[in-house]
């Protein structure tokens, strides 16, 4: 093959790659719609857990709090709350927010689901 053919081949590949990237990133990017909360980033999961902790503080319904946290993944609710507390501590959340998350985490660590009580 001649050098001109190789140059044309490589140029065609680069143009195709460039057009594909422009189409995928600018013209028609992926839009996530109706996804589950388990797909959230760690900071948003922590904020969601904090909202659950605020509701738990006023309602004192641990069963409902555990159900709300279950939408964040397949881990046990205590583990989800603990991960949120760790993230909040690492990122210097307000002391009041840390207290709420800590209360929820402690309550979930000793909680037993209604069907598992002796």
Domain assignment of residue 69, yes or no = yes
Q: Which residue has the tokens 């583990």?
A: 79
Say yes or no: 26 and 41 in one domain. no
Domain assignment of residue 103, yes or no = yes
**Count of domains observed in the chain:** 2
Q: Find the domain containing 52 and state its range.
A: 37-113
Domain assignment of residue 118, yes or no = no
Domain assignment of residue 65, yes or no = yes
Q: Which residue has the tokens 């140029």?
A: 11
Quick: pLDDT tens for 22-50.
999 999 998 888 888 888 899 999 999 99
Q: How confident is the model at residue 116 (pLDDT cuts 50, 70, 90)?
A: low
Residue 57 corresponds to which tokens in the numbers above?
């503080």
Say yes or no: 55 and 25 in one domain. no
State pTM to two decimals: 0.71
Helices (DSSP H) in the chain: which residue ranges? 3-22, 42-59, 62-70, 77-90, 95-110
Say yes or no: 44 and 94 in one domain. yes
Q: Is the pLDDT of residue 117 over 60?
A: no
């Amino acid at each position: 093959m001649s050098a001109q053919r190789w140059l044309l081949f490589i140029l065609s590949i680069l143009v195709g790659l460039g057009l594909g990237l422009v189409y995928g990133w600018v013209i028609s990017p992926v839009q996530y719609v109706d996804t589950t909360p388990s797909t959230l980033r760690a900071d948003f999961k922590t904020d969601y857990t904090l909202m659950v902790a605020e509701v738990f503080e006023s309602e004192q319904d641990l069963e409902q709090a555990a159900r709300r946290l279950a939408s964040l993944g397949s881990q046990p609710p205590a583990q989800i709350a603990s991960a949120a507390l760790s993230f909040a501590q690492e990122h210097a959340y307000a002391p009041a927010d840390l207290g709420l998350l800590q209360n929820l985490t402690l309550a979930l660590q000793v909680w037993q689901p209604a069907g598992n009580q002796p």
